[in-house]
Amino acid sequence: MDITVTPTPERPPWVQNAWTLTDLLGRPLGSILEEPDRRFFIDPEGRGAALMAKVDRGPHPSLEEALTAIEKHAPCTCRLVP
């Protein structure tokens, strides 16, 4: 399974950056949120909760580290869309 990682302008006010996680059909799997001090958290939802059940949700020191954690524990490849 591939996960598409897309930057999103819609985010809570306490979050600096956010990325949406979707499958190839565009179904939501969750998000990655960057909080102050470069702390990245994985927030699975819906189908993503089961897919990422064993994934360390963070904090991670970078977006790359968060994506690596997902790929390490879930049967998927993350693809970042610029």
Domain ranges (residues) in the chain: 2-80
pLDDT at 12 exceeding the cut of 90 = no
Global model pTM greater than 0.85? yes
| Cβ partners under 8 Å of residue 75, min gap 6 | 1, 51
Q: H helices of the chain, where?
A: 47-51, 63-73
Please give the Cα distance from 27 to 42 (Å, whole number): 17
* In the chain, % of residues over pLDDT 70: 100
Banded model confidence at residue 29, pLDDT cuts 50, 70, 90: very high
Burial classification of residue 18, based on how many CB atoms lie within 10 Å of its CB (0-12 exposed, 13-18 middle, 19 or more buried): middle
pLDDT band at 11, cuts 50/70/90? confident
